[in-house]
Amino acid sequence: MQRVFSGIQPSGIPTLGNYLGAIRNWVALQAAHECLYCVVDLHAITTWQDPATLQRQTRELAAAIIACGVDPDRHILFHQSAVPAHVRLAWIFNCVARIGWLNRMTQFKDKAGKDRENASAGLYVYPDLMAADILAYHATRVPVGDDQRQHLELANDIAQKFNHDYESAFFPMIEPLIMPEAARVMSLRDGTKKMSKSDPSDQSRINLSDDTDAIVAKIRKAKTDAEPLPSEPQGLEGRAEARNLVGIYAALAGTTPASVLAEYGGQGFAGFKIALAELTVTKLAPIAAETKRLLAEPGHIDRVLFAGAARAEAIADPIVAEAERLVGFLQRPAK
């Protein structure tokens, strides 16, 4: 059975974009794979996080992932900082990856912005840690949104260079699983920007914890244009906001934009937005309720995460120990 690994940062409240672009696929993969899902708190602190908020968001994200349908008993859900193997392997990868490779990473350029000199060194080597996350488990299938494709290509470059430099075939190649429909959910305020949990405007996104009133209000106020909905997907060309809302509807309903437009084409946005809000509430309300229930039981989520971490460690430790042996580090003597 192939091993799946994926991660998500606890740097905000998870959004509808995280659900449709990532977590929903994580749930589906459980049927035929051995899955490890990680709340990547080490990645989160590459940009400053308020400590109390980081703690709260780590728990909230884990609870939301379980509420969406990830099964922490049959699969493994844990937080990255609890398994030191990630950091051990990341250091080796810092020494394998080339500065020129990291310089090409578009996410670093976007996140560092104009003030590159002032970005953390961690933000720069972020992709090395991400490669370590995956390869510490010899995982080969990695579901992510389209924005992470470049990082996975870099992980394969690192695996290949490690294998070459240390004359081994130790690390396998990774296969990105980029989910096509709704691979990018866009902001409700600007159809050219990704919906993001770190966007300063809460109106730009639907949070998995939003209540019915918030969801209805955000969709009602979502940016659109003056034309009615087209009757075919080609008519969405150049209409980023309309395309986004139709895409969200199709993804939530488990259908295609074409069939959404077959029903709503020719109508104005008012009626469509009411239908979209209803559909969104139907899908997200049970997730929000279950998240709340899981968080209400003191200590429950922490116990789930640390139990997951112990099982993750049992897989990663021997793999990282072997990488360390290949590099030339002394091996712990047998007792």
Please enumerate, as own/partner, the contacts of 156-162 that have beta carbons within 8 Å and a separation of 24 or more.
157/97, 157/101, 158/93, 158/96, 158/97, 158/128, 158/131, 159/131, 159/135, 161/96, 161/97, 162/92, 162/93, 162/96, 162/323
Amino acid at 97: A
Task: Between 12 and 88, name the residue whose CB sits nearer to ligand AMP.
Answer: 12
Nearer to ligand TRP, 207 or 224 (CB): 207
Answer for the pair 78, 38: CB distance below 8 angstroms, yes or no.
yes
Q: Which residues bind ligand AMP (CB under 6 A)?
A: 8-9, 17-18, 21-22, 144-145, 147-148, 183-185, 194-197
Got the DSSP string for 253-294? HTS-HHHHHHHHTTS-HHHHHHHHHHHHHHHHHHHHHHHHHH
Residue tagged active-site, from 114, 161, 194, 292: 194
In the complex, the smallest distance separating the C-beta of residue 195 from ligand AMP, rounded to whole angstroms, is 4
Minimum distance between the CB of residue 106 and ligand TRP, rounded to whole angstroms?
13
Examine the residue annotation and report whether 111 is marked as an active-site residue of this protein.
yes
Smallest distance from ligand AMP to CB 228, Å: 26
Q: Which does 324 bind (CB under 5 to 8 A by kind): ligand AMP, ligand TRP, none?
A: none
Spatial distance between the Cα atoms of 71 and 233, rounded to a whole number of angstroms? 36
Question: From CA 310, how far away is CA 158, in angstroms rounded?
Answer: 27
Identify which of residues 162 and 244 has a Cβ nearer to ligand AMP in the complex. Answer: 244
Shortest distance in whole angstroms from residue 165 CB to ligand AMP: 29
Structure tokens at 215: 């969801």
Contact residues for ligand TRP, defined by CB under 6 A = 5-9, 40, 43, 130, 133-134, 142, 144, 148, 151
User: Of 197, 218, 273, 283, which residue is the catalytic one?
Assistant: 197
Q: Which is nearer to ligand TRP, 61 or 281 (CB)?
A: 61
- Residue 128 touches which of ligand AMP, ligand TRP, none (Cβ within 5-8 Å per kind): none
**Active-site residue numbers?**
111, 194, 197
